[in-house]
Structure 1
Amino acid sequence: MPAGLLPMASAVQLAVQQHPSITDAVATLAQQTAGVDYAKAGYYPQIRAGMGTGTSNSSSTGGGSLLANISASQMLYDFGKVDSQVGRSQALVRRQQAMVIKQIDVISRSTAEAVLMVHRYQALTDTARTQVDAVDKVLELAELRANAGLSTKADPIQARARAQGARAHLGQMSSELAQWRQKLRTFVGEAGARRVSVLPGLEDDALWMSGTPDFQLLPDVLMVQAERQAAKAQLVSTRASKWPTITLDAAGNKALKGVNPNTYERRGMYHSLQINLSVPLYQGGAADAQINAAAAEEVATRERIETALLQAGDQSRAWKELALGGQARLADVEHRKQSILSVRDLYREQYQLGTRSILDLLNAEQEIHQADSDAQGLMHDLWQYRLEYLAATGRLREFFGLNNKIIQGMELLP
């Protein structure tokens, strides 16, 4: 990073590495990933061990006993119950991955917008400072002519009033710049105090619109697609719940004290091995209700995918048209600015010759400042439109060089 300069890409890369909302999303992703392992545990044996004590009224047990017991259960076949739960957990992981990507895009866009606004008010502050210098020169010229008796005392008064107005405008622009610097600092820390620069890509008329956007890779679309996969898995799971589950169960216990109640032997041992089948016979319609709900959710997610694609296409086209319109207007503003500069120089010569009033010269300086401010505002609006287009097409990460980087412990793949 150049000393004293904060490029937009560097600001974005710094912000995504430290913003707490991304940290939160990544931590939630770790939680969802652990849920996959939890679901996969259904494939493996479940082993339990424990101890118990009790008494029996049977005369053969001879009173109380202390038992150590162990049991194991292995699912043999469940008609897809565990498979569907694993699939649902994996879909939720993919959804959270898309959420992390979306949060990275949100912070990238917000940081880039803050950099762009700081850059805007840097330019407007410089323009306001240039206006102050220009009006001061007119004031100096007016005072020289008034002192020499070549013009009235009203000329310096009018010029001084304009100079005060120009300084007030400079103070306003400086205040706006300070406010946006503070907002930028919330993303990048003390680096936000540096002078900023925009990416060359925002100034390039072709780079920002190159290629065909793939809306299928947008985070919102990826999230809804993952939700649909989760809904499908939930539908399979609810349907499978109406079918039996077959397990292999083993159990054993040993009396550490007293008589084993299963064998009626003092300090006796007992064990069993069984294949069990269990199926719910009646649940009051709960299973059917869950199936209907899961089926409706799967249909709803399918429609949400279409909605997300339509919204993405509409937003990208809107920002693209705004950018093209701003680009066309920018040339007209630059032409107007050059014309006013020529008029200002002519008015200065005519004022020195006494054939032009001080108001004409001051108004020309004001027109130059207004044209310069309009050009800066329109240029930054154009850059803002291009930035929004990149966000709407899901290309912010590519544009700011975040792909294939480790973002807070998560590798960001294209």
Structure 2
Amino acid sequence: MSRLAYKALLLGGLTMAPLLLAGGFAKGQTLQEALAQAYANNPGLQAARAQLRVVDENVPQALAGWRPSVVLGASGGYIDGTARSRGQYADVGRQIGSLQATVTQPLYTGGRTVAQTRRAENQVLAQRARLLAAEQQVLSDVVSAYVAVIRDQETLRLNVNNVQVLQRQLDATNERFRVGEITRTDVAQAESRLAGARSARANAEGTLQTSRATFQRVVGVPPERLIAPQPLSAAATSAAQAAEIAMRNNPQVVAALFDEASARDAVDVQMAALLPTVSVQAQAFRSDNSQQPNSRITGEQITANLSVPLYQGGGEHAAVRQARQDAVRLRQLVDDQRRQAMQQSTQAWEQLQSTRAQVDSVRSQIRAAEIALDGVQREAVVGSRTTLDVLNAEQELLNARVSLVQALSNVITASYGLAGSVGRLTARDLALPVTQYDMEAYYNTVRGKLFGTGDVSERR
């Protein structure tokens, strides 16, 4: 092969087109569609919604303390015996039966019902915040999986192209060796670099398949022609603003606040065991043959009942103290969650800034590496550079382009990570094309429900 042909091969084969991660197919699966698919069908998110409906049922259970209880009781049987009087015996065998209906209406329970209702309401609000946290986690996982597939596809493409280039370079090196222009060492160097490139390609293929499997687990469908997304608009303009928003809006902070309020209500629930209770009881009854044969007793009664606990062994006092300490514990967890939210939001902000700066630096590195590779190729043609110099320059350019792929993917995930840290990574905030789950629908259905054990949840 002539020197001119070798030069044309190097200049044409080793200089790859600039990488643009933000490009994509005219038609394909978008990130919005993947997020919507996961929002509607992700099993983890469905389980979190079911858990909210579980907690919703605490409210009607607490409200039941205001309502009367109605009990219907009945008994029946047979008495067999004899009665003796002045030496005479009589058979007293007879059937007996009774029926009674009792209605009990609590009037005052020491404040237990009021406290239980407040506690249940706060538990519902805390669980709603946890559902938002679960929603954010699922959507964050989708973003990570989506971007990982695109990143690994592009990395594989670069590695495949590198193998092709090195194969052509090895062929050219062998031709030059046969005509005596270079030594066997140059051929061995080219063969070694090609073998390493094939290993990197195999590793990239495995990484891509792993990312595709993760995508299918999170989204529910395999990835098909993914369109590379743009970074999300910054949810804050500074680290300080991000921390301030996170302290108020982060779902974990909100959940901790309602947990602490629920714990304070639990103290009042336990205190109710030390206070008097008042109730009214009405009863209607009928008894057949209970005292003597062929008799029936019927009647009605209404009573007011007062119960004043004086001493119950001290267990109730211990329960009150326990509830107070639990409230103290949860109060500390509120501060801990706020600090975590501040740390996470600040970290997310700084990570976004650093990844953006990294993209600019790597692009500059690629431009410099392309110029350097072009110079090394030209110098190799005239014999002032070795094959190893060309291989090293080409590898440096490949590494820079792979770094750009990773940096661009990091920018996207960091932008969504910042939104999640301040509580803005929800279906509503992202304007996903889905019917949003109504957290209040099931609650409103069951809150005042007096009867029924069927599933009244709405399928969404």
Check whether TM > 0.5: yes
1:246 equivalenced with 2:278 (yes/no): yes
Inter-partner Cα distance in structure 2 for 1:31 and 1:58: 59
> Aligned partners of 1:140, 1:106: CA distance in 2, in Å?
50
Aligned runs of 1:398-413 on 2, under 5 Å? 400-401=430-431, 405-407=435-437
Instruction: Give unpaired runs (5+ residues) of structure 2.
Output: 1-24, 84-91, 442-460
Go from structure 1 to structure 2 and tell me whether the alpha carbon gap of 1:215 and 1:279 turns closer, same or farther (over 3 Å shift). same
Q: Is the deviation greater in 267-276 or in 316-325?
A: 316-325
1:46 equivalent among 40, 45, 69: 69
Q: 1:318 aligns with which of 347, 351, 357?
A: 347
- Partner of 2:147 in structure 1? 116
Aligned partners of 2:254 and 2:411: how far apart in 1? 29
CA 337–85 in structure 1, closer or farther in 2 if over 3 Å, else same: same
**Which residue does the alignment assign to 1:226?**
258
- Aligned partner of 1:159 in structure 2 is 190
Distance in 2, Cα, partners of 1:48 & 1:107: 48
| 1:285 and 2:317 are equivalent in the alignment | no
Q: Please state how far the C-alpha of 1:258 moved relative to its aligned partner.
A: 2.0
How much does 1:402 deviate?
Answer: 5.1
Amino acid at match of 1:207: A
Aligned length: 403
8 Å CA contact 2:74, 2:98 repeated in 1: yes
Pair 1:14-2:41 in alignment: no
Q: Deviations over 1:79-131 (max 9, x none)?
A: 42211111122222222222222222222222222222222211211221232
Change over 3 Å in CA distance of 1:386–1:272 after alignment to 2? same
**Residue 215 (str. 1) matches residue 247 (str. 2):** yes
Sequence identity (%) = 23
Shift of 1:148: 5.6
Which segments of 5 or more consecutive residues in structure 1 lack a partner in the other structure? none
Q: In structure 1, which of residues 205, 214, 235 is the aligned counterpart of residue 267 of structure 2?
A: 235
Offset from partner CA, 1:252-297 (integer Å, 9 cap, x none)? 1113x42479xx9822311101111112221111222122112222
Give the counterpart of 1:391 among 417, 420, 445: 420
Taking only aligned residues, the RMSD between alpha carbons, in angstroms, comes to 3.1
In 2, Cα distance between equivalents of 1:393 and 1:324: 16
Relative to structure 1, the CA distance from residue 333 to residue 28 in structure 2 (aligned partners, 3 Å threshold; closer, same or farther) is closer
The amino acid across from 1:235 in the alignment is: V
CA contact (8 A) 2:128 2:439 kept: no
Equivalence for 2:456: none
Report the 3-state secondary structure (helix = DSSP H, G, I; strand = E; otherwise coil) of the residue aligned with 2:302: strand
Partner of 1:33: 56
How far has the Cα of 1:355 moved from its partner? 3.7
Displacement after TM superposition at 1:185 (Å):
1.2
SS at match of 2:278: strand
One of 200, 225, 238 as aligned partner of 1:169: 200
CA distance in 1, matches of 2:294, 2:276: 37
Secondary structure, counterpart of 1:100 in structure 2? helix
Residues 219/81 of structure 1: CA separation in 2 closer, same or farther (3 Å cut): same
Asked if residue 70 in structure 1 is aligned to residue 93 in structure 2, the reply is: no
**In the TM superposition, what is the alpha-carbon distance from 1:368 to its structure 2 partner?**
0.9
Q: Which residue identity does 1:303 align to in structure 2?
A: Q
